[in-house]
Amino acid sequence: MQQLFDINIATPHCSFRRFRLLLLAYTNRFLALAALIRELHSKNKTNPNEVLKGQIDNLKRRIHLIRTMQAWAFGSLFICVVCMLLVLLHLV
């Protein structure tokens, strides 16, 4: 049977830079949104407003999505490490 893919150690290694940049970008977004939520929350404490509460809820949903994306990126990074280990041990 002919092998479909020629996997060497460089194949999963190419993804490391992408994952690092992806995690960095989403971490920066997360921090910016968290700061914005803190600011809106302090404004909402001094002057309660339904519009601010809606904005805070929307931003919380966005933060949840960012956390989910970061978890998937970290899982993909872990799979790349396992794949590199398997290639190194000649199991793939």
Region for residue 17 given its phi and psi (left: phi exceeds 0; alpha: psi -120 to 50; beta: otherwise): alpha
Q: What is the pTM of this model?
A: 0.75
Which pLDDT band holds residue 3 (cuts at 50, 70, 90)? Answer: low
**pLDDT in the model for residue 39:** 95
Angle formed at CA 69 by CA 27 and CA 28, multiple of 5 degrees: 15
Radius of gyration of the chain (CA): 21
Question: What is the per-residue pLDDT across 79-91, written as a single tens digit (0 to 9) for each?
Answer: 888 888 888 887 7
